[in-house]
């Protein structure tokens, strides 16, 4: 059981480039989310999904797109990278019940130069 | 005001000490609460859920006070391996988990 798998683990982008952060889970979790973590600010929700075909915006969605074509996969796309998007990105998933906490992937460290 | 507030610490304690972390939240409609642990440069990991009646898991005890919108985590008999950042997490509504910025704990010999 692999849990939540994120790729790549590290990435350096130039300003203006686009890329996709991959996230896959094999636990049949309905809910998936993307968070970013910056020093001193805690984790902030970017986008989330409650099931295949359903996505919604979180606290800091600007500059990011998501899609959820399958239960397993929830990729995060950076449309035109900016230095302000330098951060650590975590994908997380959980079962539908609100009593279950999230399982997190190991994160992607992104630097935009 | 932040939705979830924690004392950032650091808390520096000797092995064997008892340490308590506090957390306040602003949304009185919140229904579920958690404590996560995050090691340096690692992902957050669920430590325990927090129930209204309070709950215990080994050396860890979590308490919830809905009237005061206050959550606590007590760690007894601290170990070196408890050194980490502890994140208070509140379900802010439809699938929106709101994270505190975390409290750093350093346990020394």
pLDDT in tens, A29-85: 999 999 999 987 789 999 999 999 999 999 999 999 999 999 999 999 999 999 999
Give the one of B8, B91, B95 whose C-beta lies nearest to A48's C-beta: B95
CB < 8 Å to A44, chain B: 99
Bridge partners of A111, per DSSP, are: A12
Give me the phi and psi of A83, to 5 degrees please.
-55, -30
**What are the tokens at A70?**
């399958």
Q: Is residue A87 within 8 Å of A36, Cβ to Cβ?
A: yes
Residue B7 burial by CB count (10 A; 0-12/13-18/19+): exposed, middle or buried? Answer: middle
Measured in angstroms, the CA of B31 and the nearest CA of chain A are apart by: 8
- Decide if pLDDT at A106 tops 80: yes
CB < 8 Å to A48, chain B: 95-96
Measured in angstroms, the CA of B89 and the nearest CA of chain A are apart by: 9
pLDDT in tens, B4-46: 999 888 999 999 999 999 999 998 888 889 999 999 999 999 9
């Amino acid at each position: 059981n692999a849990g939540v798998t994120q790729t790549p683990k590290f990435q350096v982008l130039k300003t203006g480039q686009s890329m996709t952060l991959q996230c896959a889970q094999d636990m049949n979790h309905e809910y998936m989310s993307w968070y970013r973590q910056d020093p001193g600010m805690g984790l902030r929700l970017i986008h989330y999904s409650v099931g295949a075909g359903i996505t919604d915006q979180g606290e800091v969605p600007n500059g990011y797109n998501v899609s959820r074509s399958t239960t397993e996969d929830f990729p995060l796309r950076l449309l035109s990278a900016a230095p302000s998007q330098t951060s650590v990105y975590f994908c997380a998933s959980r079962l539908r019940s609100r009593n279950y906490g999230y399982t997190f992937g190991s994160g992607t460290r992104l630097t935009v130069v | 005001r932040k939705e979830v507030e924690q004392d950032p610490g650091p808390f520096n304690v000797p092995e064997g000490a008892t340490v308590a972390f506090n957390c306040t939240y602003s949304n009185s409609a919140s229904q579920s609460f958690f404590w996560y642990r995050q090691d340096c440069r690692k992902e957050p990991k669920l430590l325990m859920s927090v129930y209204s009646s309070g709950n215990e898991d080994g050396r860890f005890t979590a308490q919830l006070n809905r009237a005061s919108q206050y959550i606590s985590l007590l760690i007894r008999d601290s170990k070196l391996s408890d050194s980490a950042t502890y994140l208070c997490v509140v379900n802010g509504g439809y699938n929106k988990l709101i994270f505190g910025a975390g409290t750093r704990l350093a346990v020394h010999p």
